Amino acid sequence: MDHSGTPIRHRLERVEENLSSFAARSRDALRRQGDQAEATGYRPSYALDVDRIINSQAYTRYIDKTQVFSLIQNDHLTHRVLHVQLVSRIARTVGRALGLNEDLIEAISLGHDIGHPPFGHEGERILSALSKEAGLGPFHHNLQSVRFLDVLEREGRGWNLTLQTLDGIFCHNGESHDVPLSPNRTKNFPLFDEELTRRGNGEHFTPVPLTLEGCVVKFADTISYIGRDIEDAIRLGIISRDDLPPAFTRLLGETNGTIVYTLVTDVITHSTGEEIRYSEEVARALVGLKAFNLKHIYMSREIKKHLGNLSELFAIVFDRCLDDLRKGREDSLIIHGFAGKMAPAYLDTTPPEMVVRDFISGMTDNYFLRLCPKELRPSIIHLKP
């Protein structure tokens, strides 16, 4: 009797034969190196990726990372840990309707924002500026998500995830909603690594996912936040529902639930095995609603005014960590809590500035603030409950 998990895994993989002919199959999954858990266990490849991602330290830190609204006390605001769960649920709903691989969709969804630094996109912008000043390329959270899972986790060994999962994570942002999205099924690890390098060096292009599942997550990312951010902004009194532009909400709806349902239904209805897409009218309405959110929510003075010294704080933390690292202060947080736990090969091949960037990008909001001088820490504001 075979006590390994192989027969069970083969049975589970045969279930995938019921999926669409365009779906990713576990038998086609690619890893950088052989994997004993995959070879002898019963979990299909993408299910194994899901388990590794949710058991990573970086995933645990989602719990205290900003989605949109930073330094605002309200228990019902969306944080990044909820955002990735919403993306996963929406993407799996679309994937199930299209006959795609839900394990792969879940892995990409749950891992796609792991590289986000503290304080959301504002923190990303600031850390990118500091990176350029330090002689590094720009900072992109999608690249850092791949870096955490492929390189930094497990003390510098990474999780040996599949190319299909890593590529979907890398390709999730830079959404295009007014054109269909078709996968680039010719990708391999050399091409994937080349794209990572090009983006890391500051080249501007939008990478195309390897799989249809990656395309679905790219769409689901926007679907998950567009209406949710509106609800959060209304809850905080930044906008009212009457402010929403009827030219777009007449088609999409005025509440998060209606907007999500409309967009998901439209994607399922108009997508094919060759491409993921919206109808033209829904795509136009979504672009318009995103523009409204940008102007009235993401760029709102009310939510930006208390972040005035965040750039200064990032510079202070960056410089202090870099000094501690260069001078080898063993009791410093960057050495004691991060670099000192990494494999020697990581420190031998990684410039000090990059080590600092890796450290800061993994911080939660509260951990970052604890490293800041008390007298400079921004206060938590209380808006409408």
pLDDT digits (tens, 9 = 90+) for 294-341: 999 998 887 777 777 899 999 999 999 999 999 999 999 999 999 999
Task: Please identify, among 277, 306, 335, the residue that sits at the C-terminal boundary of a domain.
Answer: 306
- 66, 120 in Cβ contact below 8 A? yes
Query: Is residue 4 domain-resident?
Result: no
| pLDDT score of 379 | 73
Task: Return d(Cα 16, Cα 27) in angstroms, integer.
Answer: 10
Token digits of residue 81: 């840990």
Q: What DSSP letter does each residue of 267-308 carry, written as one string? A: HHHH--SS-B---HHHHHHHHHHHHHHIIIIIT-HHHHGGGT
CB 211 within 8 A of CB 24: yes
Q: Does one domain contain both 130 and 233? A: yes
Same domain, 260 and 355: no
**pLDDT confidence of residue 40:** 81
Whether residues 136 and 249 share a domain: the answer is yes
**What pLDDT digit, counting tens, does each position of 81-123 carry?**
999 999 999 999 999 999 999 999 999 999 999 999 999 999 9
CATH of the domain at 268: 1.10.3210.10
Average pLDDT by stretches of 10, the chain with 385 residues: 66 85 95 87 93 97 88 83 96 98 98 95 95 96 98 96 98 78 96 97 94 97 96 93 97 98 98 95 96 93 79 96 96 94 94 98 94 84 58
Tell whether 98 and 223 lie within a shared domain: yes
Are 367 and 295 members of one domain? Answer: no
- Specify if 132 maps to a domain: yes
21 within a domain of the structure (yes/no): no
Same domain, 145 and 276: yes
Residue 293 to residue 64: CA distance in whole angstroms:
23
Q: How far apart are CA 368 and CA 377, in angstroms?
A: 10
Instruction: Report, in angstroms and rounded to the nearest whole number, the Rg of the chain calculated over CA atoms.
Output: 21
pLDDT of residue 176: 64
Determine the residue type at 4: S
Give yes or no: residues 296 and 357 share one domain: no
Of the candidates 306, 329, 362, which is a domain's last residue? 306
How much of the chain is helix, strand and coil, in % rounded to 5? 65, 0, 35
Rounded to an integer, what is the distance from CA 146 to the centroid of its chain?
A: 9
Contact call for residues 12 and 19 (beta carbons, < 8 A): no
Number of domains in the chain: 2
User: Is residue 20 situated within a structural domain?
Assistant: no
Q: Are 122 and 308 in contact (CB under 8 A)?
A: no
365 φ/ψ angles, rounded to the nearest 5 degrees: -60, -50
Measured CA to CA, the distance from residue 180 to residue 266 in angstroms comes to 13
Whether residue 177 is found in the same domain as residue 280: yes
pLDDT at position 1 is 39
CB 333 within 8 A of CB 371: yes
Q: Domain end: 269, 288, 306, which one?
A: 306
- Whether residue 180 sits in one domain with residue 92: yes
Residue 199: domain span: 46-306
pLDDT at 305: 73
**Do residues 271 and 157 share a domain?**
yes
Q: Is 105 helix (H, G, I), strand (E, B) or coil?
A: helix
Q: Please report whether residue 14 resides in a domain.
A: no
Tell me: do 182 and 329 sit in the same domain: no
| Residue 76 within any structural domain of the chain | yes
Q: What is the pTM of this model?
A: 0.95
Residue 211 sits in the same domain as residue 345: no
